[in-house]
Amino acid sequence: MHAMPMWRQMDPCAAGWRAMTGRGGHGHHHRSGRGGGPWGGGPPFGFPGGPFGRRQRMRRGDVRAALLVLLAEEPRNGYGLMQEIEQRSNGVWRPSPGSVYPALSQLEDEGLVRSEEGEGRKLFHLTDAGRAHVDEHREKLGEPWAAVSGAVDESAFELRDLMWQTGAAAMQVLQAGNEAQVARAREILTETRRSLYRILAEEE
């Protein structure tokens, strides 16, 4: 097994984003070598459940409602349903496979939905009974994704965008910068973090 020359070094962007994804804290945990809980190195405010908190759940029935309403438009597979909901909610809500597939199964058991296997995917259709059900309850079913998307403050989306762009900028420095420039980026981020916490520490 040949050694890997420096120009073959792993893209540090991947390393960074991997740690910041939903697997969050994974790499962090291992680097700190601490046991005692998954968020040993987390923020000082004891963020409940970890740095990103525990998201609030949709209400009971929201997943079912969303599936029924979308299937009333056209047949779709499970993955496509998840994607469509995410899109219509502006990225705020993507129902998990753990909720979508059992819900589809249940709707099938109830005779509201039927499935068709083909081409490595499973297409779900409303049955006649399902269509009647949707027609009868159309107003009550509504559009769960709309409610959840509208509930997110505009500033949250903006801050999200900014975090995105800031992360990208840091990655750029890491990729294209020399040692001194990376060190400088480190200082900037350290100061940023401090400033952010200082906001909450200050009386308004």
Partner DNA sequence: CGATCGTCAACGATATATCGTTATCGCTAG
Partner DNA sequence: CTAGCGATAACGATATATCGTTGACGATCG
By C-beta, is 106 or 190 nearer to its own copies?
190
**Backbone torsion region of residue 99, taken as left when φ is above 0, otherwise alpha when ψ lies between -120 and 50, otherwise beta:** alpha
Type of residue numbered 68: L
Residue in the block written with tokens 């420039």:
181
Sheet holding 113-118, edge to edge: 76-77, 121-126, 113-118
Task: Name which of its own copies, DNA, none residue 105 binds, using a CB cut-off of 5 to 8 Å depending on partner kind.
Answer: DNA
Please choose, from the candidates 155, 166, 177, the residue with its C-alpha nearest in 3D space to the C-alpha of residue 17.
166
CB of 114 to DNA, least distance (A): 13
State the residues that interact with DNA by CB under 7 A: 14, 22-23, 49, 54-64, 77-80, 83, 93, 95-99, 101-106, 120-123
Which does residue 87 touch among its own copies, DNA, none (CB within 5 to 8 A, set by kind)?
its own copies
Q: Give me the least distance between CB of 140 and DNA, in Å please.
A: 12
Give the residue with the Cβ less far from its own copies, 102 or 116.
102
Nearer to its own copies, 109 or 203 (CB): 203
Q: Which does residue 178 touch among DNA, its own copies, none (CB within 5 to 8 A, set by kind)?
A: its own copies
Pick 118 or 187: Cβ nearer DNA: 118
99 contact, one of DNA, its own copies, none, CB 5-8 Å limit per kind: DNA
Which SS3 state, helix, strand or coil, does residue 86 take?
Answer: helix
Question: Of 61 and 111, which has the nearer Cβ to DNA?
Answer: 61
How far apart CA 202 and CA 77 sit, in angstroms, is 50
Amino acid identity of 138? R
Total residue length of the chain = 204
Q: In angstroms, what is the minimal distance from the CB of 52 to DNA?
A: 9
71 and 113 Cβ atoms separated by less than 8 Å? yes
92 contact, one of DNA, its own copies, none, CB 5-8 Å limit per kind? its own copies
* Sign of the four-CA dihedral 48, 158, 11, 189: negative
CB of 117 to DNA, least distance (A): 8
